[in-house]
Structure 1
Amino acid sequence: MAAADPVERFRLSDQYQTLKSSVHRHLIAQIEDRKLDIYTWSAEKVERFVAEQVRRYVLEQRLPVNQRESEALIEDARNELLGFGPIQSLVDDDTVNDIVVNGPNNVFIERAGRLYSAPVRFNDDNHVIRVIQRILAPLGRRVDESTPMVDARLPDGSRVNAIIPPIALDGPCLSIRKFRKIPLTAEDLLKGGSITEQEIAYLRHRVENRANLIVVGGTGSGKTTFLNMLSSWIPPGERIVTVEDAAELRLRHNHVVRLETRPPNLEGQRAISARDLVRNALRMRPDRIIVGEVRGDEVLDMLQAMNTGHDGSMTTLHANNVRDAMHRIELLAGFAGYTGGELTLRGQIAAAIQLLVHVARLPSGQRRVLSITELRGIQGRELSMHDVFRYEPDVGGAAAPREAA
């Protein structure tokens, strides 16, 4: 992992990791000896205390560090005490979308859809696990050998996944998908070239007129972000119930009920599934139901909701294209215990879903609406689809949107 800046190179060195550990132990000793409750202090007071102690330690130990390296040491010491250690600066950076830790020496970030190596590292596996535990502790979750993987949500909505040895063979791994403080709007997507004005006008009209729709795409394609943008066009006054594994949707409506699944406890009991929540949502007098992502047996209940008066409902689905999305719905229905005929199921799908929006991340890292497709019933034994809009590369190699014929 190369770093051009001298301070960044210093931070990546084994010497610095050893020094940082020594400073951290010194701070802990000072706090314990003086019986200080720094967690009740203001941020400014903690900053002053850490800076004073670190500078004193550097002078007493006659450490060969310059001013910039000393400032880096103060920042990292503060993050070790109260933050998420080496990755705290990445968490605070609003330009970083994802943080991926593959063991102590390999940390990567995603910016604007591209993955980059980050100029930070951990001391060892135990250091990574300590940071993971610090992230999970306020959430009432834990990770250890008996439960070596965990999926959780931070208070700001960011998603956290951690997995440790013996399941992770190359050391503990951590991934954080950060949640935007301000959700993207249609104007933001338009400026970024992710959608056209014609597509926005069409989708807004269909949402306001209560079309049932599914946003389709792969991992990291921006499905949830796009679903959040679509939901902003739901007319005020409608009662909306959302169902999510990790609450990410930010609906700016007065009448929203947010439901979140619950994983099983340590005994493997008391789990609340998405299917349980969708069924319960049907009894809550919703005008629309929004499911963050359909990925299991809740697919049948979602189709039922769309077919029984909850027009305008929305969800997302992992699939490479809209045709694959329909096949995946059939597959999930089979897993959910559907025993009817294939043609009957396709009839239910055609009656429930009016619109499919395919979003993807392009090789450049840009996220883009690739197609907006209407589902128009069944022809023969197959679902009939019509592309209202498609996004295709032109003959010169540049990408250009065009309305489908």
Structure 2
Amino acid sequence: MLPLSDTLVLDLTQVIAGPTAGQILGDMGADVIKVEPLHGEHFRPHFGGAWVPSMNRNKRGLAVDLRTEGGREVLMRLARKADVFMEAFTPGVIDKLGFGWEKLSKENPRLIYASVSGYGQTGPYASRAGYDPCIQAEIGLMDATGPDGGEMCRVGTAAIDYSTGSFCAAGIAFALLARHKTGRGQRLDLSLFDVGMHLMSHWITNHGLTGEDPIRMGTSNSIICPLRVFPTKTQPIFIAGTNDAFWKILCTALGKKDWLEDKRFTTNADRVANRAILEPLIEAHFLQHTCDELLDKLIPAGMACSAAYRISEAMVSPHAQARGSVLEIDYPGIGPVKSANNPIKLSDVPVETRLKSPGVGEHTVEIMREVGFNDAEIAALRDAKAIATQAD
């Protein structure tokens, strides 16, 4: 049995952060209902229709118009029996719709209520909408990212969104565990801003110690050397010489005794101070060899290093294939959709795709029947445009 079997989750979120959390819960066995407007979430057209399928597997689909009395009644019946309620509206919007924490916690005291927002439920920025790249800029992540001496850059994926989704799923799991002990639900207040600040943790610590802001150095780092991508005769290679022990391993594996004995490179502080001398030496040596030749020496020696791949190469690597890192699911009208698999691998039960990502309102009728609506009532609400079914 999966760990969240018999857990009912109402997922009103859209785009990345919330849907990622809901998908993790669904993968772990929860009955996750994706609640959408009648026309579906606004990112459904993206990626030729593949956006929503890529991060909403193991969910059922319900389409309701929460601006209507009938739509609100459907959701309220579900909320009274749900274990988890997830929303990602700008703070205050969900309260106006009649589904705020204060109200639902009275209707269902055991409810875990997860709010995902840009800046959280408190603080001077709480009323702002939040977007991953904007948060990247605001927390200093963009300022820390970019080419040596060049302009700041956005990180090449929605790192804060996906991390927020993971933290949200974990927070919900912790709250469910607490409920097992107390019998009470609680609210989870999770923001992209807080998660982004968490991702900057070592830079926060460094600034507290030195007063220094990060320096943009491409794939390198101002406080460690060597730590960057180096060109080779073939594939680029990343070297992570994060301590003096790794420096010794690097030099020994490459047969570069002269580097090891050079007093300018003895400690990390020495190597950082003499970066302009050391890095060209490494570059010149690496350009005489292929990436595979270097990896064949370094990896068995225990050096932290890797080839620097494109995503097209990473997806088909032998290790990604062995680990099942990429899922491919066929969707009618869209075709095969590839997405990242859940990285959580439990020893007792496999994480599988039990349900494809739902179409808009795909399970509206069966879900409404489960909370006491008869077919006549369902038809009336559909005619009133309070709900939508897949047939619509």
Structure having the higher strand fraction is: 1
TM-score by length of 1: 0.25
With normalisation by structure 2, the TM-score equals 0.26
Structure with the greater relative contact order (CA < 8 A, sep ≥ 6): 1 or 2?
Answer: 2
